[in-house]
Amino acid sequence: MRTYSELTEGDRSNLLGQVSAQRERVAARLATVRHVVAVVSGKGGVGKSLVSAGLSAALARSGRQVGLLDADLHGPTAARMLGVRASGLAVRDNEVEPPVAACGVCVMSSDLLLEETAPLSWREPGHERFVWRGTLVAGMLREFLADVAWGALDVLLVDMPPGSERLDTLVELVPSLAGAVVVTIPSDASYRAVRRAVEAARAGRVPLLGVVENMAGYRCGSCRADGPLFDGDAGERLARDTGAPILARIPFDPAMQSLVDRGDVARAAEALGPAAEALMTRLGPPGREERRA
């Protein structure tokens, strides 16, 4: 019997070709984006989305064109931190226009798609969902990258979900990923969880651009003095282990958190301003394209 390769007529389904076309669509969309940067952490609750939102706003404040893709599809928060609420995404011929936050950052998030309290879930069939759920999440991330009219950006920050699994997906979709910013809190538990994510990033040959230690102390709401919050030096240890610089150490500031919860990211942008500049230095001057081998 002849083999697949010996049959000379085309394979009309051409599934491989369809997948390849999807990847080309991502590449074409991101051709006008100078740097795609993932914001990662191996642990939930370390303030990764706050760092993503603050960094993006700080970069926009300095005159850069910035996008923020909230890849935490199951627990999206970044858009609201930037004050962006669902208001009917404009769909034109082959693209979706991203809302623009007051600070100038273009945003896309599953928060803009889902009903207020609805979890991210999928239509039938309802059995054996574990088989294909990951593929659907990857497909949704692909569409967030490929179908949004990001335009010409200096930086597209991708706020990743906790853990390292989705970073592999991002690397496959964006081979030109410039690198990752790692977010931790000072505790030893955080160090160990984030360290695993760092190793996963290294395995995927994702350059580590820097470490942000969040909740590095507590800022008093009355006197604005900083005091201790967590034991540990996870930020320093991660920087030492990886050779990546510490971009910022941010105290937990209830006032700042309260503002961010209301969609006002200005104070967070101020706190992360130096980190944003350090990140841009790590990425290289305008015109220098960072590409992973």
Partner 1 sequence: MKFLCIECDRQMAFAERKLPGDGTLAAVFSCPACNRSVAMLTNPMETQLVASLGVHIGGRTVPEQPFELTRSTVEGGRADAFSDIAAPAGGRPVWDEAARERLSRVPSFVRGMVQRIYADYAAERQIAVITPEVMDTARRELGLEGM
d(CA 122, CA 136): 9
Give whichever of 24 and 188 is closer to partner 1, judged by the CB atom. Answer: 24
- Select the span of 14-22, 163-171, 211-219, 283-291 touching partner 1 (CB under 8 A): 14-22
Q: Is 11 in the site for partner 1 (CB under 8 A)?
A: yes
| CB-count exposure of residue 125 (10 Å: 0-12, 13-18, 19+) | exposed
Q: Is 15 in the site for partner 1 (CB under 8 A)?
A: yes
Shortest distance, CB of residue 88 to partner 1, whole angstroms?
A: 4
- Select the span of 39-47, 113-121, 229-237, 253-261 touching partner 1 (CB under 8 A): 113-121
**Which of 115, 93, 97 has the alpha carbon at shortest distance from 107?**
97
Are 69 and 161 a contacting pair, CB within 8 Å? Answer: no
d(CA 191, CA 174): 27
Q: Is 140 in the site for partner 1 (CB under 8 A)?
A: yes
Please identify which residue in 27, 100, 102, 113 interacts with partner 1, judged by CB under 8 A: 113
Are 177 and 26 a contacting pair, CB within 8 Å? Answer: no
Shortest distance, CB of residue 17 to partner 1, whole angstroms?
A: 9
Shortest distance, CB of residue 145 to partner 1, whole angstroms?
A: 11
For the chain, what's the residue count? 293
Helix (H) or strand (E) segment spanning residue 197:
helix 188-203
What is the residue whose two structure tokens read 């240890």? 237
Please identify which residue in 27, 100, 114, 229 interacts with partner 1, judged by CB under 8 A: 114
Contacting residues toward partner 1, per CB under 8 A: 1-2, 4, 7-9, 11-15, 18-19, 21-22, 25, 86-96, 112-115, 118-125, 127-128, 131-133, 135-136, 139-140, 142-143, 147
